[in-house]
Amino acid sequence: MSDSEPLVAPEAPVPEGVPESAPEVVPVVPEKVTSAPALPQPALEIAAGYSFTGPALELGTLLWEGQCHAEAQVRIPLSMLNRHGLVAGATGTGKTKTLQLIAEQLSANGVPVFLADVKGDVSGISAPGEANDKVAQRSGEVGQEWQGTGFPCEFYGLGGIGPGIPLRATVTSFGPVLLSKVLQLNQTQEQSLGLIFHYADAKGLELYDLKDLRAVVAFLVSDTGKGELKGIGGLSSVTAGVILRAITAFEQQGAGDFFGEPEFDTSELMRLAPDGRGLVSVLELPAVQDKPQLFSTFLMWLLADLYGDLPEVGDMDRPKLVFFFDEAHLLFKGASKAFLESITQTVRLIRSKGVGIFFVTQTPKDVPADVLAQLGNRVQHALRAFTPDDAKALKATVKTFPNSPYDLEELLTGLGTGEAVITVLSEKGAPTPVAATRLRAPESLMGPIDAAALDQAVKSSLLYGRYAEAVDRESAYEKLTAEQQAAEAAALQAADEAAAAKEAAKAPVRQKQDASLAGQVVGSGMFSSLARSLGTQIGREISRSIFGTAKRRR
Protein backbone atom coordinates (compact mmCIF):
# COMPACT_ATOMS: atom_id res chain seq x y z
CA MET A 1 0.00 0.00 0.00
CA SER A 2 1.42 3.40 -0.90
CA ASP A 3 1.77 6.15 1.67
CA SER A 4 -0.91 8.16 -0.08
CA GLU A 5 -3.53 5.41 0.19
CA PRO A 6 -5.61 5.62 3.38
CA LEU A 7 -5.77 2.63 5.68
CA VAL A 8 -9.32 1.33 5.82
CA ALA A 9 -10.50 -0.08 9.11
CA PRO A 10 -12.95 -2.94 9.42
CA GLU A 11 -16.42 -1.66 10.04
CA ALA A 12 -16.43 -0.05 13.47
CA PRO A 13 -18.64 -1.86 15.98
CA VAL A 14 -21.90 -0.19 16.88
CA PRO A 15 -22.40 0.12 20.66
CA GLU A 16 -25.34 -1.76 22.10
CA GLY A 17 -28.45 0.32 22.15
CA VAL A 18 -27.34 2.44 19.21
CA PRO A 19 -29.09 1.55 15.93
CA GLU A 20 -26.83 0.76 12.95
CA SER A 21 -28.86 3.12 10.86
CA ALA A 22 -31.38 5.67 11.91
CA PRO A 23 -33.85 6.22 9.07
CA GLU A 24 -36.41 7.35 11.62
CA VAL A 25 -34.28 10.36 12.58
CA VAL A 26 -35.80 13.40 10.96
CA PRO A 27 -33.58 16.39 10.32
CA VAL A 28 -34.27 19.28 12.63
CA VAL A 29 -35.76 21.99 10.47
CA PRO A 30 -34.38 25.32 11.62
CA GLU A 31 -37.00 27.40 13.34
CA LYS A 32 -37.84 30.69 11.73
CA VAL A 33 -35.67 33.35 13.24
CA THR A 34 -36.40 37.02 12.99
CA SER A 35 -34.06 38.42 10.36
CA ALA A 36 -31.14 40.30 11.83
CA PRO A 37 -30.43 43.79 10.56
CA ALA A 38 -28.25 44.08 7.48
CA LEU A 39 -24.55 43.81 8.27
CA PRO A 40 -22.65 47.09 8.55
CA GLN A 41 -19.45 47.52 6.55
CA PRO A 42 -16.99 46.21 9.22
CA ALA A 43 -19.06 43.04 9.64
CA LEU A 44 -19.30 42.59 5.85
CA GLU A 45 -15.51 42.75 5.65
CA ILE A 46 -15.22 40.08 8.36
CA ALA A 47 -17.73 37.82 6.57
CA ALA A 48 -15.84 38.23 3.26
CA GLY A 49 -12.73 36.85 4.95
CA TYR A 50 -14.44 33.48 5.38
CA SER A 51 -15.71 33.07 1.80
CA PHE A 52 -13.47 30.16 0.82
CA THR A 53 -13.72 28.36 -2.51
CA GLY A 54 -12.42 24.93 -1.47
CA PRO A 55 -13.72 22.37 1.08
CA ALA A 56 -14.16 23.89 4.53
CA LEU A 57 -15.55 22.98 7.93
CA GLU A 58 -18.60 24.97 9.08
CA LEU A 59 -17.98 26.36 12.56
CA GLY A 60 -20.91 28.74 13.03
CA THR A 61 -22.23 32.17 12.09
CA LEU A 62 -21.04 35.70 12.70
CA LEU A 63 -22.14 37.63 15.77
CA TRP A 64 -22.28 41.42 15.44
CA GLU A 65 -23.63 43.73 18.12
CA GLY A 66 -25.38 40.82 19.82
CA GLN A 67 -27.13 39.64 16.64
CA CYS A 68 -26.51 36.28 14.96
CA HIS A 69 -26.25 36.61 11.14
CA ALA A 70 -26.93 33.21 9.57
CA GLU A 71 -25.97 34.50 6.11
CA ALA A 72 -22.39 35.14 7.32
CA GLN A 73 -20.88 31.68 7.91
CA VAL A 74 -17.57 31.31 9.78
CA ARG A 75 -15.53 28.43 8.37
CA ILE A 76 -12.06 26.90 8.31
CA PRO A 77 -10.45 25.54 5.10
CA LEU A 78 -9.87 21.79 5.25
CA SER A 79 -6.41 22.25 3.74
CA MET A 80 -5.37 24.47 6.67
CA LEU A 81 -6.12 21.98 9.43
CA ASN A 82 -2.50 20.79 9.42
CA ARG A 83 -1.38 24.33 10.32
CA HIS A 84 -2.34 23.49 13.90
CA GLY A 85 -4.67 25.32 16.24
CA LEU A 86 -5.71 26.31 19.73
CA VAL A 87 -9.08 25.87 21.45
CA ALA A 88 -9.11 27.85 24.69
CA GLY A 89 -11.59 29.12 27.24
CA ALA A 90 -12.65 28.97 30.87
CA THR A 91 -14.25 25.83 32.31
CA GLY A 92 -17.83 25.36 31.13
CA THR A 93 -17.63 27.61 28.07
CA GLY A 94 -18.01 24.82 25.50
CA LYS A 95 -14.49 23.70 24.55
CA THR A 96 -15.42 20.01 24.51
CA LYS A 97 -18.42 20.61 22.25
CA THR A 98 -16.16 22.59 19.90
CA LEU A 99 -13.80 19.59 19.69
CA GLN A 100 -16.77 17.37 18.99
CA LEU A 101 -18.09 19.69 16.27
CA ILE A 102 -14.73 19.87 14.47
CA ALA A 103 -14.04 16.13 14.89
CA GLU A 104 -17.43 15.21 13.39
CA GLN A 105 -16.84 17.26 10.26
CA LEU A 106 -13.29 16.00 9.86
CA SER A 107 -14.55 12.41 10.05
CA ALA A 108 -17.29 13.18 7.52
CA ASN A 109 -14.61 14.55 5.19
CA GLY A 110 -12.51 11.38 5.40
CA VAL A 111 -9.94 12.67 7.92
CA PRO A 112 -9.05 10.43 10.91
CA VAL A 113 -9.16 12.14 14.31
CA PHE A 114 -7.57 11.51 17.70
CA LEU A 115 -9.33 12.81 20.83
CA ALA A 116 -8.15 12.56 24.43
CA ASP A 117 -11.26 12.17 26.61
CA VAL A 118 -10.08 13.46 30.00
CA LYS A 119 -13.50 13.96 31.60
CA GLY A 120 -15.22 10.94 30.02
CA ASP A 121 -17.83 12.87 28.04
CA VAL A 122 -16.57 12.47 24.45
CA SER A 123 -17.64 8.85 23.87
CA GLY A 124 -21.04 10.13 22.70
CA ILE A 125 -19.48 11.01 19.34
CA SER A 126 -20.15 7.37 18.39
CA ALA A 127 -23.93 7.73 18.79
CA PRO A 128 -26.54 9.97 17.12
CA GLY A 129 -27.44 13.12 19.02
CA GLU A 130 -30.87 13.68 20.50
CA ALA A 131 -33.14 16.37 19.11
CA ASN A 132 -34.51 18.82 21.67
CA ASP A 133 -35.60 22.43 21.99
CA LYS A 134 -32.08 23.73 22.59
CA VAL A 135 -30.76 21.99 19.49
CA ALA A 136 -33.67 23.33 17.44
CA GLN A 137 -33.06 26.85 18.70
CA ARG A 138 -29.32 26.75 18.04
CA SER A 139 -29.67 25.21 14.57
CA GLY A 140 -32.27 27.84 13.70
CA GLU A 141 -30.01 30.68 14.82
CA VAL A 142 -27.03 29.50 12.80
CA GLY A 143 -28.88 28.19 9.73
CA GLN A 144 -27.89 24.57 10.37
CA GLU A 145 -29.86 21.59 9.02
CA TRP A 146 -29.21 19.39 12.03
CA GLN A 147 -29.54 15.60 11.87
CA GLY A 148 -28.50 13.21 14.64
CA THR A 149 -25.49 11.23 13.43
CA GLY A 150 -23.01 8.86 15.07
CA PHE A 151 -19.44 8.53 13.83
CA PRO A 152 -17.10 5.49 13.57
CA CYS A 153 -14.98 5.22 16.73
CA GLU A 154 -12.32 3.14 18.43
CA PHE A 155 -11.89 3.51 22.19
CA TYR A 156 -8.52 3.17 23.93
CA GLY A 157 -7.32 3.17 27.53
CA LEU A 158 -3.82 3.72 28.92
CA GLY A 159 -2.33 0.36 29.88
CA GLY A 160 -5.76 -1.23 30.17
CA ILE A 161 -6.72 0.95 33.15
CA GLY A 162 -10.36 1.90 32.66
CA PRO A 163 -12.40 1.13 29.54
CA GLY A 164 -10.72 0.89 26.17
CA ILE A 165 -8.29 -1.16 24.11
CA PRO A 166 -5.03 -1.16 26.15
CA LEU A 167 -2.49 1.30 24.81
CA ARG A 168 1.13 0.67 25.85
CA ALA A 169 4.64 1.76 24.90
CA THR A 170 7.97 0.11 25.64
CA VAL A 171 10.44 1.99 27.82
CA THR A 172 13.00 1.82 24.99
CA SER A 173 10.56 3.45 22.59
CA PHE A 174 9.41 6.06 25.13
CA GLY A 175 12.96 7.34 25.51
CA PRO A 176 14.84 9.25 28.22
CA VAL A 177 13.43 12.77 27.62
CA LEU A 178 9.77 11.78 27.98
CA LEU A 179 10.48 9.35 30.81
CA SER A 180 12.39 12.04 32.73
CA LYS A 181 9.28 14.21 32.47
CA VAL A 182 6.99 11.61 34.05
CA LEU A 183 9.58 10.64 36.69
CA GLN A 184 10.04 14.36 37.49
CA LEU A 185 13.83 14.20 37.24
CA ASN A 186 16.01 17.29 37.21
CA GLN A 187 18.37 18.18 34.38
CA THR A 188 21.37 16.28 35.80
CA GLN A 189 19.26 13.19 36.45
CA GLU A 190 17.75 13.45 32.95
CA GLN A 191 21.24 13.49 31.45
CA SER A 192 22.21 10.43 33.49
CA LEU A 193 19.05 8.64 32.34
CA GLY A 194 20.02 9.46 28.76
CA LEU A 195 23.40 7.84 29.41
CA ILE A 196 21.66 4.71 30.73
CA PHE A 197 19.49 4.50 27.60
CA HIS A 198 22.56 5.03 25.42
CA TYR A 199 24.27 2.14 27.17
CA ALA A 200 21.25 -0.20 26.93
CA ASP A 201 20.78 0.64 23.24
CA ALA A 202 24.44 -0.06 22.46
CA LYS A 203 24.52 -3.34 24.40
CA GLY A 204 21.29 -4.69 22.92
CA LEU A 205 19.52 -4.70 26.29
CA GLU A 206 15.82 -4.38 25.55
CA LEU A 207 13.96 -2.05 27.92
CA TYR A 208 10.39 -3.24 27.49
CA ASP A 209 9.04 -2.41 30.94
CA LEU A 210 10.12 -0.61 34.10
CA LYS A 211 11.73 -3.65 35.72
CA ASP A 212 14.11 -3.82 32.74
CA LEU A 213 15.17 -0.22 33.32
CA ARG A 214 15.56 -0.83 37.05
CA ALA A 215 17.76 -3.87 36.37
CA VAL A 216 20.10 -1.90 34.07
CA VAL A 217 20.41 0.99 36.55
CA ALA A 218 21.16 -1.44 39.37
CA PHE A 219 23.78 -3.25 37.25
CA LEU A 220 25.60 -0.02 36.35
CA VAL A 221 26.20 0.82 40.03
CA SER A 222 27.03 -2.75 41.07
CA ASP A 223 30.61 -3.92 41.66
CA THR A 224 30.47 -5.76 38.35
CA GLY A 225 29.07 -2.97 36.19
CA LYS A 226 30.14 0.31 37.77
CA GLY A 227 33.16 0.62 35.49
CA GLU A 228 31.09 0.35 32.32
CA LEU A 229 30.35 4.07 31.98
CA LYS A 230 33.63 5.43 33.37
CA GLY A 231 34.90 6.46 29.97
CA ILE A 232 31.84 8.60 29.20
CA GLY A 233 31.13 10.26 32.53
CA GLY A 234 29.96 7.42 34.74
CA LEU A 235 26.82 7.12 36.84
CA SER A 236 26.97 8.22 40.46
CA SER A 237 25.35 5.97 43.03
CA VAL A 238 23.43 8.98 44.38
CA THR A 239 21.85 9.77 40.98
CA ALA A 240 21.16 6.08 40.38
CA GLY A 241 19.44 5.94 43.76
CA VAL A 242 17.20 8.89 42.88
CA ILE A 243 16.25 7.30 39.55
CA LEU A 244 15.55 3.92 41.17
CA ARG A 245 13.38 5.51 43.86
CA ALA A 246 11.48 7.49 41.21
CA ILE A 247 10.86 4.30 39.21
CA THR A 248 9.66 2.45 42.33
CA ALA A 249 7.31 5.27 43.32
CA PHE A 250 6.02 5.43 39.77
CA GLU A 251 5.26 1.70 39.80
CA GLN A 252 3.50 1.97 43.16
CA GLN A 253 1.12 4.47 41.56
CA GLY A 254 0.11 1.76 39.10
CA ALA A 255 1.98 3.32 36.19
CA GLY A 256 3.91 0.15 35.44
CA ASP A 257 0.96 -1.08 33.37
CA PHE A 258 1.50 1.66 30.79
CA PHE A 259 4.88 0.26 29.76
CA GLY A 260 5.37 -3.07 28.05
CA GLU A 261 4.26 -5.09 25.07
CA PRO A 262 2.48 -5.34 22.74
CA GLU A 263 3.40 -1.76 21.92
CA PHE A 264 0.70 0.28 20.22
CA ASP A 265 1.24 0.91 16.53
CA THR A 266 0.35 4.57 15.99
CA SER A 267 -0.57 3.90 12.34
CA GLU A 268 -3.83 2.49 13.79
CA LEU A 269 -4.88 6.10 14.37
CA MET A 270 -4.87 6.88 10.64
CA ARG A 271 -7.51 4.44 9.43
CA LEU A 272 -10.75 5.06 7.59
CA ALA A 273 -14.07 3.34 8.20
CA PRO A 274 -15.49 1.17 5.38
CA ASP A 275 -17.82 4.01 4.36
CA GLY A 276 -14.83 6.32 3.79
CA ARG A 277 -15.31 8.43 6.90
CA GLY A 278 -12.30 9.06 9.12
CA LEU A 279 -12.06 6.87 12.20
CA VAL A 280 -12.32 8.79 15.47
CA SER A 281 -9.86 7.36 18.03
CA VAL A 282 -10.94 8.26 21.57
CA LEU A 283 -8.45 7.78 24.41
CA GLU A 284 -10.49 7.31 27.60
CA LEU A 285 -8.62 8.97 30.49
CA PRO A 286 -11.08 9.37 33.42
CA ALA A 287 -9.48 6.46 35.29
CA VAL A 288 -6.05 8.16 35.19
CA GLN A 289 -7.07 11.76 35.83
CA ASP A 290 -4.87 11.68 38.94
CA LYS A 291 -1.79 11.02 36.76
CA PRO A 292 -1.82 14.12 34.55
CA GLN A 293 1.90 14.19 33.86
CA LEU A 294 1.78 10.62 32.66
CA PHE A 295 -1.12 10.89 30.24
CA SER A 296 -0.02 14.27 28.85
CA THR A 297 3.49 12.92 28.25
CA PHE A 298 2.06 9.73 26.76
CA LEU A 299 0.12 11.85 24.26
CA MET A 300 3.41 13.49 23.32
CA TRP A 301 4.90 10.04 22.74
CA LEU A 302 2.10 9.27 20.29
CA LEU A 303 2.95 12.44 18.35
CA ALA A 304 6.69 11.75 18.48
CA ASP A 305 6.13 8.21 17.22
CA LEU A 306 3.95 9.47 14.36
CA TYR A 307 6.61 12.03 13.51
CA GLY A 308 9.28 9.32 13.37
CA ASP A 309 7.25 6.99 11.14
CA LEU A 310 5.49 9.27 8.65
CA PRO A 311 7.06 10.41 5.36
CA GLU A 312 7.22 14.02 4.23
CA VAL A 313 4.17 14.92 2.14
CA GLY A 314 4.21 18.72 2.04
CA ASP A 315 0.93 20.59 1.56
CA MET A 316 -2.15 18.43 1.01
CA ASP A 317 -5.80 19.17 0.26
CA ARG A 318 -6.66 17.63 3.64
CA PRO A 319 -4.60 16.37 6.59
CA LYS A 320 -3.82 12.70 7.20
CA LEU A 321 -4.75 13.03 10.87
CA VAL A 322 -5.87 15.77 13.26
CA PHE A 323 -4.75 15.29 16.85
CA PHE A 324 -6.57 17.08 19.70
CA PHE A 325 -4.31 17.54 22.73
CA ASP A 326 -6.67 18.19 25.66
CA GLU A 327 -5.50 19.66 28.99
CA ALA A 328 -2.41 20.91 27.15
CA HIS A 329 -1.18 22.98 30.10
CA LEU A 330 -0.25 19.72 31.84
CA LEU A 331 2.26 18.96 29.10
CA PHE A 332 4.17 22.20 29.60
CA LYS A 333 3.97 22.50 33.38
CA GLY A 334 7.39 21.92 34.92
CA ALA A 335 8.90 20.92 31.57
CA SER A 336 12.67 21.12 31.12
CA LYS A 337 14.24 23.33 28.47
CA ALA A 338 15.15 20.25 26.40
CA PHE A 339 11.59 18.97 26.63
CA LEU A 340 10.10 22.30 25.49
CA GLU A 341 12.57 22.52 22.61
CA SER A 342 11.59 19.02 21.50
CA ILE A 343 7.87 19.87 21.61
CA THR A 344 8.46 23.03 19.60
CA GLN A 345 10.45 21.21 16.96
CA THR A 346 7.94 18.37 16.70
CA VAL A 347 5.02 20.77 16.27
CA ARG A 348 6.96 22.74 13.66
CA LEU A 349 7.98 19.74 11.57
CA ILE A 350 5.03 17.35 11.85
CA ARG A 351 2.88 19.71 9.75
CA SER A 352 4.80 18.69 6.63
CA LYS A 353 3.91 15.06 7.40
CA GLY A 354 0.20 15.78 7.13
CA VAL A 355 -0.66 15.88 10.85
CA GLY A 356 -2.51 18.78 12.45
CA ILE A 357 -2.43 19.40 16.21
CA PHE A 358 -4.99 21.35 18.22
CA PHE A 359 -3.98 22.21 21.78
CA VAL A 360 -6.92 22.56 24.16
CA THR A 361 -6.48 24.54 27.36
CA GLN A 362 -7.92 27.43 29.39
CA THR A 363 -5.82 30.38 28.24
CA PRO A 364 -3.22 30.92 25.49
CA LYS A 365 -0.65 31.73 28.19
CA ASP A 366 -0.70 28.02 29.12
CA VAL A 367 1.18 27.36 25.86
CA PRO A 368 4.81 28.55 25.45
CA ALA A 369 5.25 31.43 23.00
CA ASP A 370 7.35 29.41 20.55
CA VAL A 371 4.59 26.80 20.30
CA LEU A 372 1.75 29.33 20.29
CA ALA A 373 3.35 31.11 17.33
CA GLN A 374 2.85 27.97 15.23
CA LEU A 375 -0.88 27.63 15.92
CA GLY A 376 -2.54 29.24 12.92
CA ASN A 377 -6.18 28.51 13.83
CA ARG A 378 -7.72 29.94 17.00
CA VAL A 379 -11.05 29.29 18.72
CA GLN A 380 -11.19 31.34 21.90
CA HIS A 381 -14.16 30.79 24.20
CA ALA A 382 -15.08 33.11 27.07
CA LEU A 383 -12.54 34.09 29.71
CA ARG A 384 -13.25 35.18 33.27
CA ALA A 385 -11.77 38.25 34.95
CA PHE A 386 -12.60 37.66 38.61
CA THR A 387 -9.07 38.15 39.96
CA PRO A 388 -6.03 40.30 39.09
CA ASP A 389 -4.38 37.23 37.56
CA ASP A 390 -7.50 36.65 35.42
CA ALA A 391 -7.42 40.26 34.24
CA LYS A 392 -3.75 39.95 33.34
CA ALA A 393 -4.42 36.75 31.39
CA LEU A 394 -7.29 38.44 29.56
CA LYS A 395 -5.09 41.34 28.44
CA ALA A 396 -2.38 38.90 27.32
CA THR A 397 -4.93 36.91 25.31
CA VAL A 398 -6.24 40.02 23.54
CA LYS A 399 -2.69 40.88 22.43
CA THR A 400 -2.38 37.52 20.65
CA PHE A 401 -5.20 38.37 18.19
CA PRO A 402 -4.93 40.47 15.02
CA ASN A 403 -6.39 43.99 15.07
CA SER A 404 -10.16 43.87 15.18
CA PRO A 405 -13.18 46.20 15.13
CA TYR A 406 -14.41 44.39 18.26
CA ASP A 407 -13.58 45.47 21.80
CA LEU A 408 -12.04 42.08 22.55
CA GLU A 409 -11.61 42.58 26.29
CA GLU A 410 -15.31 43.25 26.67
CA LEU A 411 -16.30 40.61 24.11
CA LEU A 412 -14.25 37.78 25.63
CA THR A 413 -15.79 38.25 29.06
CA GLY A 414 -19.33 38.47 27.66
CA LEU A 415 -19.45 35.43 25.35
CA GLY A 416 -22.07 32.80 26.15
CA THR A 417 -21.64 29.04 26.21
CA GLY A 418 -21.08 27.79 22.67
CA GLU A 419 -19.80 31.15 21.45
CA ALA A 420 -16.21 31.98 20.59
CA VAL A 421 -13.87 34.48 18.99
CA ILE A 422 -12.32 32.86 15.92
CA THR A 423 -9.49 33.56 13.50
CA VAL A 424 -8.11 30.91 11.13
CA LEU A 425 -5.76 30.72 8.17
CA SER A 426 -7.29 31.38 4.77
CA GLU A 427 -6.61 29.16 1.78
CA LYS A 428 -3.66 31.45 0.99
CA GLY A 429 -2.25 31.03 4.49
CA ALA A 430 -3.12 34.53 5.73
CA PRO A 431 -5.01 35.10 9.01
CA THR A 432 -8.73 35.76 8.60
CA PRO A 433 -10.42 38.70 10.35
CA VAL A 434 -11.35 38.10 13.98
CA ALA A 435 -14.97 36.91 14.09
CA ALA A 436 -17.26 36.60 17.10
CA THR A 437 -19.11 33.37 16.35
CA ARG A 438 -22.11 31.42 17.57
CA LEU A 439 -21.04 27.82 17.03
CA ARG A 440 -23.09 25.05 15.46
CA ALA A 441 -24.50 22.18 17.52
CA PRO A 442 -22.70 18.81 17.31
CA GLU A 443 -24.80 16.14 15.58
CA SER A 444 -23.59 13.29 17.76
CA LEU A 445 -24.59 12.65 21.37
CA MET A 446 -23.43 15.50 23.62
CA GLY A 447 -22.47 13.31 26.56
CA PRO A 448 -21.10 9.82 27.24
CA ILE A 449 -22.65 6.60 26.00
CA ASP A 450 -23.50 4.16 28.80
CA ALA A 451 -20.80 1.90 30.25
CA ALA A 452 -22.25 -1.32 28.79
CA ALA A 453 -22.32 0.12 25.27
CA LEU A 454 -18.75 1.35 25.65
CA ASP A 455 -17.56 -2.03 26.90
CA GLN A 456 -19.27 -3.79 23.98
CA ALA A 457 -17.69 -1.42 21.47
CA VAL A 458 -14.24 -2.06 22.93
CA LYS A 459 -14.46 -5.85 23.13
CA SER A 460 -15.99 -6.26 19.67
CA SER A 461 -13.15 -4.32 18.04
CA LEU A 462 -10.68 -6.33 15.96
CA LEU A 463 -7.86 -4.49 17.72
CA TYR A 464 -8.88 -5.75 21.14
CA GLY A 465 -7.46 -9.22 20.55
CA ARG A 466 -4.20 -7.71 19.29
CA TYR A 467 -3.54 -5.47 22.30
CA ALA A 468 -5.63 -6.77 25.22
CA GLU A 469 -3.15 -9.19 26.81
CA ALA A 470 0.24 -7.94 28.02
CA VAL A 471 3.30 -9.91 26.88
CA ASP A 472 6.54 -10.24 28.90
CA ARG A 473 9.34 -11.37 26.59
CA GLU A 474 12.98 -11.94 27.57
CA SER A 475 14.61 -8.54 27.95
CA ALA A 476 17.20 -6.70 30.03
CA TYR A 477 15.81 -7.88 33.38
CA GLU A 478 15.93 -11.57 32.47
CA LYS A 479 19.33 -11.30 30.77
CA LEU A 480 21.00 -9.44 33.60
CA THR A 481 19.37 -11.52 36.33
CA ALA A 482 20.32 -14.85 34.73
CA GLU A 483 23.91 -13.83 33.99
CA GLN A 484 24.48 -12.23 37.38
CA GLN A 485 23.19 -15.36 39.08
CA ALA A 486 25.45 -17.52 36.90
CA ALA A 487 28.44 -15.30 37.66
CA GLU A 488 27.73 -15.49 41.38
CA ALA A 489 27.44 -19.29 41.21
CA ALA A 490 30.68 -19.53 39.25
CA ALA A 491 32.44 -17.32 41.76
CA LEU A 492 31.21 -19.45 44.67
CA GLN A 493 32.28 -22.65 42.93
CA ALA A 494 35.68 -21.21 42.12
CA ALA A 495 36.12 -20.10 45.73
CA ASP A 496 35.38 -23.63 46.94
CA GLU A 497 37.83 -25.07 44.42
CA ALA A 498 40.48 -22.57 45.48
CA ALA A 499 40.00 -23.49 49.14
CA ALA A 500 40.31 -27.20 48.35
CA ALA A 501 43.38 -26.61 46.21
CA LYS A 502 45.05 -24.70 49.05
CA GLU A 503 44.85 -27.81 51.18
CA ALA A 504 46.21 -30.04 48.41
CA ALA A 505 49.01 -27.91 47.06
CA LYS A 506 51.02 -24.80 47.72
CA ALA A 507 51.77 -21.60 45.78
CA PRO A 508 52.17 -22.74 42.09
CA VAL A 509 48.97 -24.71 42.12
CA ARG A 510 47.13 -21.92 43.99
CA GLN A 511 48.23 -19.38 41.36
CA LYS A 512 46.81 -21.61 38.64
CA GLN A 513 43.48 -21.92 40.51
CA ASP A 514 43.24 -18.12 40.92
CA ALA A 515 43.63 -17.72 37.16
CA SER A 516 40.84 -20.28 36.70
CA LEU A 517 38.59 -18.26 39.04
CA ALA A 518 39.14 -15.05 37.10
CA GLY A 519 38.54 -16.84 33.84
CA GLN A 520 35.21 -18.25 35.01
CA VAL A 521 33.88 -14.94 36.27
CA VAL A 522 35.18 -12.66 33.51
CA GLY A 523 34.43 -15.28 30.89
CA SER A 524 30.74 -15.58 31.79
CA GLY A 525 28.56 -14.66 28.82
CA MET A 526 26.90 -11.53 30.18
CA PHE A 527 29.98 -10.15 31.91
CA SER A 528 32.02 -10.57 28.75
CA SER A 529 29.35 -8.82 26.69
CA LEU A 530 28.89 -5.94 29.09
CA ALA A 531 32.62 -5.38 29.67
CA ARG A 532 33.35 -4.46 26.06
CA SER A 533 33.81 -0.80 25.23
CA LEU A 534 30.77 1.10 23.97
CA GLY A 535 32.82 2.03 20.93
CA THR A 536 33.02 -1.57 19.76
CA GLN A 537 29.21 -1.85 19.49
CA ILE A 538 28.90 0.08 16.21
CA GLY A 539 25.54 -0.55 14.56
CA ARG A 540 23.86 -1.80 17.74
CA GLU A 541 22.59 1.50 19.08
CA ILE A 542 18.97 2.39 18.42
CA SER A 543 18.31 5.37 16.19
CA ARG A 544 16.41 8.00 18.17
CA SER A 545 14.32 10.99 17.15
CA ILE A 546 14.55 14.62 18.22
CA PHE A 547 12.47 13.62 21.26
CA GLY A 548 14.78 10.75 22.21
CA THR A 549 12.09 8.24 21.23
CA ALA A 550 13.19 5.08 19.46
CA LYS A 551 12.21 4.74 15.83
CA ARG A 552 9.93 1.76 15.34
CA ARG A 553 11.57 -1.29 13.80
CA ARG A 554 9.26 -2.76 11.19
pLDDT reading at 170 higher than 90 = yes
86, 358 Cβ separation under 8 angstroms: yes
Give the pLDDT band (50/70/90) at residue 27: low
Question: Pick the residue with more confidence: 486 or 462?
Answer: 462
Q: Which amino acid is at 112?
A: P
Q: What are the pLDDT digits (tens) for 492-525?
A: 676 777 777 877 776 555 455 444 433 443 344 4
Q: Helix or strand or coil: residue 478?
A: helix
Q: What are the pLDDT digits (tens) for 355-388?
A: 999 999 988 988 999 999 999 999 999 998 888 8
pLDDT reading at 534 higher than 60 = no
Distance CA 36, CA 42 (A): 16
Distance CA 215, CA 218 (A): 5
Give the pLDDT band (50/70/90) at residue 106: very high
Least confidently predicted of 17-21, 157-161, 231-235, 389-393: 17-21
Give the pLDDT band (50/70/90) at residue 289: confident
Average pLDDT rounded to a whole number, residues 450-476: 93
Average pLDDT rounded to a whole number, residues 7-25: 52
Distance CA 23, CA 25 (A): 5
Q: What are the pLDDT digits (tens) for 316-351?
A: 999 999 999 888 888 888 777 878 888 899 999 999
- pLDDT of 25 reads 47
Give the pLDDT band (50/70/90) at residue 97: very high
Query: Mean pLDDT in the chain?
Result: 84
Using alpha carbons only, give the angle 231, 336, 373 rounded to the nearest 5 degrees. 130
Average pLDDT rounded to a whole number, residues 174-196: 91
Average pLDDT rounded to a whole number, residues 144-160: 94
| Backbone phi and psi for residue 21, each to the nearest 5 degrees, phi listed first | -140, 155
